[in-house]
Amino acid sequence: MGSVLFTPLTLRSMTLQHRGWVSPMCQYSCAAETGEGVPNDWHLMHLGSFAAGGAALILTEAAAVNPVGRISPLDAGLYNDEQASAWERIIQFVHQHGAADAKIGAQLAHAGRKGSTYWPFSGRNGSVQESDGGWATVGPGTGAFDGYAPPSAMTDEDIDGVIRDFAAAAVRAVEAGFDTVEIHGAHGYLLHEFQSPLVNDRTDAWGGTEDGRNRLTLAVVDAVRDVIPDSMPLLLRISASDWAEGGVEVDHAVRLARQAAERGVDLVDVSSGGAVAHQKIQAGPGYQTGFSTRIRHEADVATGTVGLLTSAGQAEHAVATGQADGIFIARAALRDPHWWLRAAFELGHDISWPPQYERAIPRHSF
């Protein structure tokens, strides 16, 4: 029996050579001197190393759909032509040098009330003051994430504008040459803020009920699906649990995923947490695969799973047992950008290596 992890998967017109992928990981590395939100050589090296390392699908870090949607002042965006041009250079590199015919997707995001924050290695915490380059944030209401400045409650006009911004960013992603786009609806950022009853206390059509809380996410799905080619797959990342009493639970996530799939989402990238600081995550190897399994089978949609799946054996088991259609690798990929070459060797699969690296192909041990 061959490896299941290293079998192809086709989503619309995009065929991935195997089921091992790169999860979005913020780098907080867009330097002000090269332009607000503009990816640079660090991003080329970071994402390009995964392509050379054998990943079949690489997702960018959260690319903000407007300036207010950035997580920090050093975050990437996809809301102007300069940013799109910089992404195009990276896309071309990935396509040219991907050892597994790598595909690359843009994760489109809005940070909501968790925006305008200091980056992790800044030595500071909390919200960035406007005098230091920060900005006023927005959210479903005025409740602040712990330790952050309170946001302004979004008006109907604000919400309509964000939906248009997601669509405009998707158009730029298509024009830049991305193979797919992922809508970021997880980790306590804007779309998840609207989904979570722990954050969204609105009583209008954008809150109140589960359908109301999911309305913004599904409106963004509709808007993005409408502007990208029918042949291009659409991904949606969700938090399947808030890990806090009264918050989103997997039953809610199944219903949201089913509705998203009916609207043209081809794969749900299943993660969890991030809405509130008092969450109590029970982390461990494969701790989120149960969410993915339920969504995959009950919502009838392809899924990807992530979360402390660090070895080839763990990834193989998750796919072979139907817990997910693919495995997103994050921290393990930072430790070893050639994770997929190693995994193929360990699972006995013959994968293509970059010709520059062929002299290092192992014969007996990695």
Which residue is catalytic, options 28, 148, 189, 287? 189
Which residues have C-beta within 8 Å of that of residue 142, sequence separation ≥ 6? 150, 151, 152, 153
The Cα 104–Cα 90 span in angstroms is 9
Q: CB–CB of 246/197 below 8 Å?
A: yes
33/195: higher pLDDT: 195
Write down the pTM of the prediction.
0.97
Q: Residue 128: CA atoms inside 13 Å, Cβ hemisphere, count?
A: 22
When pLDDT is cut at 50, 70 and 90, the band that residue 299 belongs to is: very high
The 10s digit of each residue's pLDDT in 6-36 is 999 999 999 999 999 999 999 999 987 788 9
Is 189 considered catalytic here? yes
Residue 1 has pLDDT above 70, yes or no: no
The model's confidence at residue 283, banded by pLDDT at 50, 70 and 90, is: very high
Residue 253: both structure tokens together: 């996530």
Identify the pLDDT of residue 34: 80
Three-class secondary structure of residue 329 per DSSP: strand
pLDDT, tens only, 44-56: 999 999 999 999 9
Residues 9-360, CATH architecture:
Alpha-Beta Barrel (3.20)
Q: Where are the domains of the chain?
A: 9-360
Residue with tokens 């799946």: 309
In degrees and rounded to multiples of 5, residue 228 shows phi and psi of -95, 160
Residues 6+ apart with CB under 8 A from 315: 5, 19, 20, 309, 327, 329, 343
